[in-house]
Every structure is written in C-alpha cells, then in structure tokens.
Amino acid sequence: MNHRGDAMSDKEEGPVPLLAARSLVKAYGRTPALRGASVALGAGEILAVTGASGSGKSTLLHLLSGIARPDEGAVTYDGQRLDRLPERRLTELRRTDFGVVFQFGQLIPELTAVDNVGLPLLLAGASRATARERAGEWLERFGVRGQEGLRPGELSGGQAQRVALARALVTGPRVVFADEPTGALDSLAGEQVMTALVHTAREAGTAVLLITHDAQVAAYADREVRLGDGLVLPAGVAA
C-alpha cells in the first residue's frame, strides 16, 4: 500500500520509478509528436513501447534520454528533473548512466566495429587496449565477433544494429534506450539479440526502454505501453 501524500507516487503503484515522463508535449513546427504522454520505468524493468508509425515512440525516447527537451511536461530521472539540467550536466549524465541505440544510422563511419563499441570506454578514461578487449567481448555476446575490423559501411544492417547495441551496453549503463533494435534482423537473429539484451539487463539490473513494432520482441519485456497519436493508450484499446 502506498502512503498518501508521497509527492511522487500519487498515481503510481509501487515504488518511485527510476525514470518518469509526466504529460509530455512535443511538437516539431506544427506537427504534434507527443500530446501529453506519461510513462514510468522502474529500476531493472524492461518496458516495451509499441504503437503505429508516427505515434511518437522515437520522440518519447529522445525526451526520456535527454537528447531533446519537451515543450511541456516533466522528465524525472533518479529524483532530479532531467529536462531542466544544463546541457553540460545532461551530456555527462548521458555518458555515465544511459546507453542509447538509435533507430537510424549512428555508428561513426570512420571507425571499425570494435572501435565504435570501445569509444564510450575511451571517453570514460579506459586505455585503448582495455577498450578493445571489452568491446571484443561485447561483439561476441551479440554474435558479431568476426566483424571487429570492419567499418559501418562494410557491415550489413543487422550487424550494424548489433554493434550499436554492444556500444550502448559496454559502459554498464543504468538505463538502455533501444529504438527498434531488431528492426533490421531476421527472426532468428532478432531472438538472439533479444536474448542477449534481456540476459545482460537482468544480470546487471539495467532498466530497458525498448521500442518495437514486433509483438514477439515486445513479449520479452516485463510490461508494454502503447502509444497512439502522441498519447499513451489505455490498456485494452486497439492501436
């Protein structure tokens, strides 16, 4: 039972979430992307976000991960207002606490797969040798061990997606945001990637916000929220 009067839990069940979005509104010019969406993610929870194309899923990820700021509403992470942090602190926090897999091209074209994965470690102060070694282990976990020396332009879409996932996880973040991480994979490779992602998240207590169109992928999550037209749909409503 919740105690009444707890500022963060008036409508929430259970403990205060690690990451919460309240009534987010975001428009791009005259196009509304989010129209008052609220979502909460608990520590170690795997949450799937589904919904039709254009419903606001990627926008939600950008706001929750501090990549963009909402026009209205609040994003709270670990007890602080993420949407109000100065840019410099936000960048630092993203580097230490978050791992992000974007929906579209994000690997650095000039770097090989292993150096793309090792980059966040180098930025955190690891030596080149340590970064390479740990990056290699992560590539192995995601089934792209033979491709360390290839540049993104030489990888298949599915291989690039797995390299991006390895890069998001390599620093041991508290929250991983993954936008369609299996979108370019066939169902077997998709299962392998999801198994590796879920296993890693469970082992390390990582919270995961997983955007997907695929019901089989969403089934790996603890819980699912569906967006429709910039709003979270009530459970049981068809998208």
Ligand X SMILES: Nc1ncnc2c1ncn2[C@@H]1O[C@H](COP(=O)(O)OP(=O)(O)OP(=O)(O)O)[C@@H](O)[C@H]1O
Take residue 135 and report the two structure tokens written for it: 């990056």
Is 107 or 170 the residue whose CB approaches Mg ion more closely?
107
Based on the shown chain and the rule CB under 6 A, indicate whether residue 59 belongs to the binding site for ligand X.
Answer: yes
For residue 212, the minimal CB distance to ligand X (Å) is: 9
Q: Given the rule CB under 5 A, which of 101-109, 123-131, 143-151, 190-198 is the region that contacts Mg ion?
A: 101-109
Is 26 or 57 the residue whose CB approaches Mg ion more closely?
57
Angle at 152 between CA 144 and CA 185, to 5 degrees: 50
For residue 64, the minimal CB distance to Mg ion (Å) is: 13
Take residue 58 and report the two structure tokens written for it: 């990627």
Cα dihedral 128, 129, 130, 133 sign:
positive
Angle at 68 between CA 78 and CA 131, to 5 degrees: 70
Based on the shown chain and the rule CB under 5 A, indicate whether residue 58 belongs to the binding site for Mg ion.
Answer: yes
* DSSP run (H or E) holding 195: helix 187-204
With beta carbons less than 8 A apart as the criterion, state whether 85 and 93 touch.
Answer: yes
Based on the shown chain and the rule CB under 5 A, indicate whether residue 76 belongs to the binding site for Mg ion.
Answer: no
Q: Which residues bind ligand X (CB under 6 A)?
A: 28, 31, 33, 51, 53-59, 103
Q: Which residues bind Mg ion (CB under 5 A)?
A: 57-58, 103
